Amino acid sequence: MNCYNCNATEATPILMCPSTSQCGKCFDPKCMKWDRSCQNAAYLNKIFSAHEAEGSSLFYNLNTATDPDNFTAVYNLIPCSGCGCCCCCDSTVLGPDAVFEIQKIYSQLDCLMVTADDGPNPVPITPAQVTINGFEVEDVTFSNGLYTATIGNVINNILNPQCIAQGLPSKAFLLLQNIGPLAFRARMAFEGVVRTGGKMYRFKLYLANNEATPLTGAMTTSSFAVAEANIPCIANGMVPVVTFSFGGRLNVINPTLTVEYVNPDIPAEGINILLNATLSINPTAHVEVLRNTLMLLNGAQAQEDLTCGLQGFDLYGNNACCCNNSATVSGNAATGVVRCGCGCNG
């Protein structure tokens, strides 16, 4: 087989492709100049095992009134008028007399982390908390949200000689135990009807706790088990490692919304929209067993799991009859938009 020398020429500069949208797009290989292709060998992290382990459910009693500065709230009001879809302009803002009827709830757990009560910095996970077939791993390190456990000290106690003879990984029981204290960041959104000042509006509310101050307090520890983790042998001096990160699912139980003035003496300074609810968190650990393995490059990209954002929720929506005024967030006060009619005089 004839193969061109892939290293014969210097690297060529990247050609910038114009962008016409605020959103990015997939990398276009036409934006770069390429040498003639040939096969290349490279060491890659080969995945031998990937599991999603579930821990026991955790509950958190959330009352944003105790710490309104830790939350960002943005809302959108659509007046319920009698002139069809055309909404008449109304400068009424929400007040403490507002009564909310929640009809839809959207929620997402942005981040589940192991941290102390006094801040967002991660708490180390010790080798004693990560065991394989009862043996403690050698070391656990943390970087960019990912924990890595080295297992060189215990791999000979894990591998099955019969599996090695067949060139197969060995099954093992992997346990992450007493992981915590756990803290989290969450995003929630609510839709429904609100009555205030003798008028009725459809509302949309987006609520999130600030990145620098994750929610802790009543959160506790959890354990995660993988019954059949595949552990490969050492190859070309490359020892497998175990990596894991934490996430989960969030459910909002029995939520109630109320309104208070930031400064009761000066209502014009704005409002806080307060949430009282029980949050149910189902923590998960994504666990992978990897080994640096010599590979010939010829593969396909896995389909992406687009889980970012509150699926199905649009704060402003699309309504041809109403103006979408932009909203900004200022301080801890809830920021709102009352969408006014375009061309409706009654």
Contact call for residues 47 and 288 (beta carbons, < 8 A): yes
Rounded distance between C-alpha atoms, residue 63 and residue 74, angstroms: 17
CA atoms in the 13 A half-sphere facing the CB of 129: 20
Contact call for residues 259 and 92 (beta carbons, < 8 A): no
What pTM did the predictor assign? 0.74
- According to the model, what pLDDT value does residue 190 have? 94
The first and second tokens of residue 265, run together, are 């003496």
- According to the model, what pLDDT value does residue 101 have? 95
- According to the model, what pLDDT value does residue 196 have? 86
Q: What is the pLDDT along the chain (346 residues), one digit of tens a residue?
A: 333 333 333 333 333 334 444 555 666 667 777 777 777 788 889 999 999 999 988 888 999 888 777 888 888 888 765 444 434 444 446 888 999 999 999 999 888 888 765 555 677 899 999 999 999 999 999 988 899 999 999 999 999 999 988 989 999 999 999 998 888 888 999 999 999 888 888 888 998 888 777 777 556 789 999 999 999 999 989 999 999 999 999 999 999 999 988 888 887 777 888 999 999 999 999 999 999 988 887 655 555 555 556 776 776 554 433 444 333 333 345 555 544 443 333 3
- According to the model, what pLDDT value does residue 320 have? 37
Rounded distance between C-alpha atoms, residue 133 and residue 115, angstroms: 27
Domain boundaries, given as residue ranges, for the chain: 40-297+311-338
The first and second tokens of residue 44, run together, are 């890659």
Contact call for residues 67 and 301 (beta carbons, < 8 A): no
- According to the model, what pLDDT value does residue 22 have? 52
Rounded distance between C-alpha atoms, residue 234 and residue 207, angstroms: 48
Q: Which residues contact 99 (CB under 8 A, 6 or more apart)?
A: 194, 195, 196
For 107-142, give one letter per residue: b (16+ CB within 10 A) or e. Answer: bbbebbbbbeeeeeeeeebebebbbbeebbbbebee
| Preceding omega of 181 cis (within 30 degrees of 0) | yes
Contact call for residues 333 and 270 (beta carbons, < 8 A): yes
How far the first Cα of the chain sits from its last, in Å, is 80
Rounded distance between C-alpha atoms, residue 244 and residue 239, angstroms: 17
Rounded distance between C-alpha atoms, residue 47 and residue 229, angstroms: 11
Rounded distance between C-alpha atoms, residue 175 and residue 178, angstroms: 10
Spatial CA neighbour of 189 closest among 105, 123, 257, 81: 105
Q: Which residues contact 13 (CB under 8 A, 6 or more apart)?
A: 33
Query: Between β-strands 335-338 and 71-79, what pairing exists: parallel, antiparallel or unpaired?
Result: parallel
Task: Output the CA angle 237-238-242, nearest 5 degrees.
Answer: 150
